Structure 1
């Protein structure tokens, strides 16, 4: 690990609830010239993760907008009732969740929902509000009742490629068989790459609206999620898909680090599992 990165890690470990602005100020005072985006990218990824991202981006460096338009991107995101819970972030390593220095008082049991969604260059598909934990069987139900209708809406009879991350339910053997049985090609993906999934930007749009809505019940929360999602236009989606070649090039230029395409508001860690020595921001 380089000296500058070691310095940043020490700064983070002093106070796990610092903002990116605070981290940048202290890192700069230590003699490192940097920006908020650089701090964000440095903290979140370790060398092994960066190399995997760089390898993937290099393999896809000649991707065209037309190729990106053939991909149905998907993701899950957690939405909380409590405004404080929605916005609070703590920098921690995997396995440090219950450590006192990583805990902060908040609403004890904030109501929340986990949501699955999909998008392509043609628009968005229907949202699925997930009940309970997602295992291989329940994920395949989501695919059957929400992914397939999304593909039908956005692609009709045209071929498409499906993207999802490496969550255990996604990579289970039975899930792989489900895709084979349905004749669906799955895009080779990798963990820790929210900046390469344009649906992350759509979650950001919804979360900004949710901050203004401030729902008081679970039904209001769901409605506050569905309304901005339904208002997302095909033009917005096409612009995001059109950015894929630039996103890939940005990863290559950044040597695998996270890029500017990863917005701060949309940080959430619902399925990708970082390496044990990788500090990352997670909702408190």
Structure 2
């Protein structure tokens, strides 16, 4: 490790004291610097007429500017998977090859992160256009308009497997403690389904079920959970019901049930779960379920019902009122995925 450089003002004082007739030892004692520093300051001033150090070139870059531009081009499209592959392609254009570790360091300096891909539904050009058309049609709706919509959805939860990655703080020696292990089992311990909705009036009643969702079961949900929840809303409010385009939602038996119940259904763009604010609740529920271990489907059903009953009603309203912002983001992304 190098020594701390002497300030240019101190060097100027050393030169001035030398011109005044003091020897190097006396100057060293008076300025509290080594005699060698005094000697170098006087010598540099005589040779260059300056007190400051010359700019240092420093260690040459392992990847020159041109190589960095090439590196940026390589980290695009399908070339993002492996630092080893990126290094191999980059070394073909460099006069001196670099290691994979060096390439990783440069990528981090450029702001890149090596992370898990975000899972999103595949969108064709047709899907994107349909999403844009839907957002354009409703972009002028206000939060007050969206409060009158009941957003609904189904989700599946597993006894042992969580939707979110579970991260904890632990010491290396604690990694095998029961509270530090995410237990798994064949079949993930069983699954349970839940139907629920939110609006500007809070959360609806939830339907928790162990069988697979189909048209018959969905009709029962509309007849009981949805109608019961709508009965709690003032009759003067004209309510719209939102559902996605899942096969059981568009079946003939469900269409007949909707007509019989006289539900006003909001049209919906295909493959648009990110536009549905109720999707946020599934992630929140999953985090709460992860706080306490479960070992049976019955326990999972009880916990789901408990957590749904404790959903913050103000949070539901805020999620519904976020629709204008969601629409703006979707239009900005030209119908593509957004966060």
Q: What TM-score do you get using the length of structure 1 for normalisation? A: 0.69
Cα–Cα, structure 1 residues 33 and 241, in superposed 2: closer, same or farther, change >3 Å? same
**Does 1:73 find its partner at 2:182?**
no
Count of paired positions: 227
Alignment equivalent of 1:206, drawn from 285, 288, 296: 285
| Correspondence for 1:258 | 337
**Does 1:47 find its partner at 2:124?**
yes
Structure 1 residue 131: deviation in Å?
Answer: 3.5
Which runs of 5 or more residues in structure 2 are unaligned? 1-74, 86-102, 166-183
Cα–Cα, structure 1 residues 33 and 56, in superposed 2: closer, same or farther, change >3 Å? farther
Report which structure shows greater RCO (CA 8 Å, sep ≥6).
Answer: 1
Structure 1 residue 7: deviation in Å?
Answer: 4.2
Which runs of at least 4 in structure 1 moved beyond 3 Å after TM superposition?
A: 3-8, 32-37, 85-88, 154-157
Q: Distance in 1 between matches of 2:290 and 2:308?
A: 14
Structure 1 residue 217: deviation in Å?
Answer: 2.0
> Aligned-residue CA RMSD in angstroms?
3.3
Q: Distance in 2 between matches of 1:141 and 1:44?
A: 29
Q: Distance in 2 between matches of 1:132 and 1:81?
A: 15
Alignment equivalent of 2:271, drawn from 192, 199, 218: 192
Within-5 A mapping of 1:1-284: 4-7=76-79, 40=118, 44-48=121-125, 49-83=127-161, 86-87=163-164, 107-109=185-187, 110-156=189-235, 158-260=237-339
User: What is the SS of the residue equivalent to 1:212?
Assistant: coil
Query: 1:220-261: per-residue Cα shift (whole Å, max 9, x none)?
Result: 21122122211122211111111110110110011112221x
Structure 1 residue 63: deviation in Å?
Answer: 1.3
User: What is the SS of the residue equivalent to 2:212?
Assistant: coil
Q: Distance in 2 between matches of 1:237 and 1:87?
A: 20
8 Å Cα contact 1:68/1:242 also seen in 2: yes
User: What is the SS of the residue equivalent to 2:271?
Assistant: coil
Query: 1:111-162: per-residue Cα shift (whole Å, max 9, x none)?
Result: 1101111111111112111232222222111111111112222455532111
Cα–Cα, structure 1 residues 107 and 157, in superposed 2: closer, same or farther, change >3 Å? farther
Structure 1 residue 62: deviation in Å?
Answer: 0.8
8 Å Cα contact 2:198/2:320 also seen in 1: no
Query: 1:9-60: per-residue Cα shift (whole Å, max 9, x none)?
Result: x77xx9xxxxxxxxxx99x95xx987899x638x643333222212211111
Cα–Cα, structure 1 residues 134 and 254, in superposed 2: closer, same or farther, change >3 Å? same
Cα–Cα, structure 1 residues 87 and 70, in superposed 2: closer, same or farther, change >3 Å? closer
8 Å Cα contact 2:191/2:210 also seen in 1: no
Cα–Cα, structure 1 residues 239 and 86, in superposed 2: closer, same or farther, change >3 Å? closer
8 Å Cα contact 1:65/1:244 also seen in 2: yes
Which is further off, 129-138 or 114-123? 129-138
> More strand by proportion, 1 or 2?
1
8 Å Cα contact 2:151/2:199 also seen in 1: yes
